[in-house]
């Protein structure tokens, strides 16, 4: 596998990391080649029947259900500048002892740019900025909490590709700040991805972690300063050189003022 093909492998794996938090234009540090891109169409389902309180204690609390159809696209404007975009259709239901509500419609629509700042062929350092317009409205009820705020996301991404155990792999870490126009609070984001593909195999294995740390005060109508830590594992399978399928499962491992959430996603994609 040549250097160009290794980069394709890395970029494909990193882009599938977006699935955990819905249609969020994340991707990884690697940029697309000029005039090339890829698109993912993914179905996402999650459930939760317990809640981490302000002290991180897990307690039963109603039931939450979310279904989402997500579209994510990235395209290389130049070798060092990639356009990223995402949108989604969603159905959310939430019920507790106080209220039951349902929300159906568009999720967030995101648009952003990822710029490669430096690379030596294996190490890559990039910066990314994206804006998101909420599809939900505040009048959509309790099910729309955290879904009805416009957002700005800025992050620095560092990745390294490597060869180990008879295959090609990569490690990627992203640290960023997410400013939200409403509740919950602004967040610090730390995401990490480890991927590996055996030489000659069509399967790319992925292990990931996602952390969101609320930075605001206990204020606003919901008084939320959430902390969310999730892990995800999955795989991407190349059907051809252009088309692939991917699947993963995820779960919360710790939180504060956040849902104990578990779920899975499946999808198809193409490189163009």
Over residues 262-269, the mean pLDDT reads: 94
Give this prediction's pTM. Answer: 0.85
Residue pLDDT, tens place only, 84-143: 999 999 999 888 777 788 889 999 999 999 999 999 988 999 999 999 998 877 766 666
Contact between 71 and 86 (Cβ < 8 Å): yes
H-helix or E-strand containing 16?
Answer: none
pLDDT of residue 141: 67
pLDDT of residue 27: 61
Residue pLDDT, tens place only, 126-173: 999 999 998 877 766 666 667 778 999 999 999 999 999 999 999 999
Whole-number mean pLDDT of the chain?
Answer: 85
Alpha carbons 216 and 136: distance in angstroms, whole number: 22
> In angstroms, what CA-CA distances link 134 with 108, 145, 152?
4, 11, 11
CATH superfamily of 3-271: Autotransporter beta-domain (2.40.128.130)
Instruction: Decide if pLDDT at 261 tops 50.
Output: yes
pLDDT of residue 135: 86
pLDDT of residue 62: 81
pLDDT of residue 45: 96
pLDDT of residue 142: 65
3-state SS, residue 139: helix
pLDDT of residue 13: 46
**Domain range list for the chain:** 3-271
Instruction: Decide if pLDDT at 234 tops 80.
Output: yes
Q: Give backbone dihedrals phi and psi of 38, rounded to 5 degrees, phi first.
A: -155, 160
DSSP readout, 39-93? EEEEEEEEEEEEEE-TTS-EEEEEEEEEEEEEEEEEEEEETTEEEEEEEEEEEEE
Instruction: Decide if pLDDT at 36 tops 90.
Output: yes
Alpha carbons 230 and 150: distance in angstroms, whole number: 23
Written as six digits, the tokens of 51 are 């809640």
Alpha carbons 265 and 271: distance in angstroms, whole number: 20
Written as six digits, the tokens of 64 are 């939450």
pLDDT of residue 215: 84
Q: Give percent above pLDDT 90 in the chain.
A: 61
Q: Give percent above pLDDT 70 in the chain.
A: 83
Alpha carbons 184 and 197: distance in angstroms, whole number: 38
């Amino acid at each position: 596998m040549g250097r160009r093909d290794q980069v394709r492998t890395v970029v494909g794996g990193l882009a599938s990391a977006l699935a955990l938090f819905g249609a969020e234009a994340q991707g990884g540090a690697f940029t697309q080649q000029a005039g090339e891109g890829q698109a993912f169409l993914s179905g996402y389902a999650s459930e939760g029947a317990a809640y981490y309180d302000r002290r991180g204690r897990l307690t039963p609390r109603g039931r939450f259900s979310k279904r989402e159809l997500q579209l994510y696209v990235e395209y290389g404007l130049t070798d060092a500048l990639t356009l990223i975009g995402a949108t989604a259709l969603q159905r959310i239901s939430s019920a507790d002892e106080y209220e039951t509500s349902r929300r159906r419609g568009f999720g967030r629509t995101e648009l952003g740019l990822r710029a490669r700042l430096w690379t030596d062929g294996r190490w890559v350092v990039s910066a990314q900025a994206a804006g998101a317009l909420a599809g939900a409205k505040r009048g959509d009820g309790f099910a729309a909490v955290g879904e009805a705020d416009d957002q700005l996301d800025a992050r620095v991404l560092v990745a390294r590709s490597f060869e180990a155990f008879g295959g090609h792999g990569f490690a990627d870490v992203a640290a960023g700040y997410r400013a939200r126009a409403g509740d919950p609070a602004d967040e610090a984001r730390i995401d990490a991805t480890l991927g590996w593909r055996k030489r000659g195999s069509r399967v790319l294995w992925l292990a990931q972690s996602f952390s969101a740390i609320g930075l605001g005060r206990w204020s606003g109508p919901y008084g939320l300063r959430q902390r969310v830590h999730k892990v995800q594992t999955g795989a991407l399978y190349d059907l051809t050189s252009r088309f692939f399928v991917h699947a993963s499962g995820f779960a919360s491992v710790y939180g504060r003022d956040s849902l104990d959430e578990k779920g899975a996603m499946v999808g198809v994609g193409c490189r163009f």
